[in-house]
Every structure is written in C-alpha cells, then in structure tokens.
Structure 1
Amino acid sequence: MTSQQPPLWRRTVAELLGSCLLVMIVVGSGIAAQQLSPNDVGLQLLQNSTATVLGLTVLILVFGPVSGAHFNPVVSLVDWVLGRRSGAGLTLPELGTYVVAQTVGAISGSVAANAMFDVGTSISAKERATTGHLLGEVVATAGLVLLIFALAATKRGALAAPAVGAYIGAAYWFTSSTSFANPAVTVGRIFSDTFAGIAPSSVPGFVVAQLIGAAVGLGLLLILFPAAARTADDVILPHSSETPSPRP
C-alpha cells in the first residue's frame, strides 16, 4: 500500500465493523420480513433487499474512506491480484488480515441479529446449492467485481456506494441465489436458521462459485479496462490518511 494508507489496525477494525453491520442488516431485515409478512415470500424478499440496498450504501460511505469498504474476500482477493501487476493494492499479509476480519465480522453480525430479534443462534437448515443457485452466484459475483473495479479504473469512485448498493439490490431479484456474492457473508449466514440463512452443506459450493465469478469478473475487467491495476488502492472507495504513516 502507499504511505498515505491508514494503518492496518484501523483498516481491520473498519472491515470487521462493516462486515458485521452488513450481515446484521441482511439477517435482521430477513427476520423482520419473515415476522411481518409470514405468508408472502415475495414481499419478504422485497423488504430484505430494500434494507440491504440502503444499508450497504451507507456502510460504504462510512467505512470506505478508512479501509476501502471491501467487506468481501473476493473483492480483497481481486484487489491483491491486480496490485501484483502495478505494486499497488493489498499486500498478501493485508489480504489475510482483511479476510479474517470480514469473516469474523460476518459471523458476529449474524449472532447479533439473532439476539436483537430474540430468535437464538442456530445453524441454518436452508439448502441452497442447486445448479441454478451456483450459476447465479457466478453471475452475481462476476458482475459485482466488474462494477467495483471498473468504477475505480474510470475515476468514478464517488458513485461506488449507490452503484454497488443498486447492483446488489437488483441481483437479489435477477439471480436465482439472491446474490450472496461474498464468501464472508455466506459463512456468516450459516449461523441463523431464518429467512436469510444457508445450510453449511451449501457453503462450499457457493464459495467455489463466488471464486469462479471473481475470476470471470477479473478477466472481463482486464479486457475492458486494461489499466485497472493502477487503481487497486482506490477500491471500493479511495482511502487515505491525513497524516502519512509508515507501511504496516
């Protein structure tokens, strides 16, 4: 990373909190939707997706200036891969730290959402790993990666928060999987046997599909925007410290 990046510990806290709040929003709004509209699954999905769109947009705006607001291991992974081409982006130790923070945060968010609605934390029994769902995850993740890094490559990072929120909201509806597109969130949602949950047996397939989607998105990005590697430090939002600090 450049000397203008905030220290790693601060970025780690931002990634942990952001991932925690993101899953809290997804799981909590799913529980609320299930309670408010028990007989209408379509309305439940509308309520869940609307809350996620609004919440994710806000979280990117809040935490983006600190850590880039990745909240997603595939975004961090692609950032690291691109950075190897230009000397920018995350280092390998930083990548590992981000992924651990994102995963711990996601699990914590699920537990907190369960507690708020007094439903108790339990392992989900909702099986999702059909062929259609896995294809949906490939499509959703590829589109997300392409969107995020294309915005950075074209210096339109200011649009990232509403654009990413809008894309995830749309992908709730146009993908069969309802667009998890995030390994940390997928793991976090194991710990809530509610509307937004996913059974542990479905998780490996989802994560593999997400990694394939990330590779597809990266390939499309390099075809369409060959100079994207130079903007790895600006994903999802540009993040810099007012006072230059030594490389962590």
Structure 2
Amino acid sequence: MESIMGGVTEPNLFIRCSLKSFCQESASVLPWDSVLKDTNKAVAEAYILPNLRVVRLCQAGRPIPVLDQEFYYQCLSAVSVGLTARKKVDDEDLRQSVELYKSWRDPNVSFASSAHISSGWFQNASSQMATNASNHVVVNFYRRFQKYVKQRVGITGKERYELLRDVLAPAYAGSDERVLEFRRWIPRNAEGYINKEKPHLILPVMYRFLQFIELENYR
C-alpha cells in the first residue's frame, strides 16, 4: 500500500538543527559518515514504523494518536539504540507494532546508534517529522479522494469536482446518496470544514481510500 503518512518515499525532507544540538562532544572524533548514517537510518526507520502503526490501528478500527512530537520521538526511540533519554514503550499498540517491525528486519542489520547523538537532535528531528507527516496528510487528502471517487464512482471532470465540492462543503441540503455517504466520513471542525488542524482524524478516511484503490489496481 502507498505510504499513508509520507516519509522515506517523500522527496526533500530535511531535518534542520544546529551542529551543537546535533551531536555530543564525543562525536567530534568520529568519522562524520558514521554519525550521519546513524541519523539517516533512525529517521528512515522512524517514518516506516509509524506508517505500520497507523495501518494496524486503521485495520482494527482503533483511534489514531495525535501526530505530534511525542508520537515521533517514541518511534525514533524504538528504532535506535543507546539513547539515554529513551522513551519507555508503554503503549500496547506501539509495542506490538515495534515487535512486528523488528520481526521484518534483517537480524544482521544493526539499529541506528544514538550513543554519540544528543537528545536535542532527537527532539528537533521528531518535531520536524511531525510537521512533515501532518502536512503530507492534509496536502494529499484531496488528491487521493479524487482518485477514489474516479475508481469507485466512475466519474471525472466537472461531475467529480461538484461531488467533492458538496462532500467537503460545511453544509449540504441536497439528496445525493453518494454525497451524503462521503460526508459522514469527513472529520470536521466547529465551522463544518474538514479538520486540517487534526490530521490524525483524517488518516482512517485516507486508509479507506488507499485500501480500495489498491484492491482495484490488483483486479
């Protein structure tokens, strides 16, 4: 299935932080390639793990956690070793996702070492990852909704535009059963628009789109 939250498949994802916050003093005597490989590996795996976690929650019909810094810090912590400020995995869904993810990894490939990377880097990285994931969900929702409607309903162009317009509008007084069905799926804010401030609420809908599209593509 296509990545539901973005991550390693997305181009131009950068973590910006100062050199001082990037590593501990002990890292200054290490080959920089080693330090950079560990940070890149940690970020890559910390994008894969939450995608797995969210898909499992969607499959089980369980609530999706808020996509905040804490969410991604837990994931970074779970896929790295040597982190002094490691977050304890006390969430059962996360723990099961971590165990499943580890079972898929090549046991001969080591996890990223954080022994020479400061906790400040993990804070900065997890904050940026949360922003990237939230933006990905919001930006790609409409595109995936368009594709879903095309494949399920079989309409494009003006007819599809008008259907999506009615679905996403704050209010709808019509009687189109397709519009009424899709409107029930949309998480809305107090003004009736799709709740872009809480992208984790949008993820189950996107999962529904991607699951249907994938099944259709294999027919």
TM-score (norm 2): 0.30
TM-score (norm 1): 0.27
Higher relative contact order (CA 8 A, sep 6+): 1
Q: Larger radius of gyration, structure 1 or 2?
A: 2
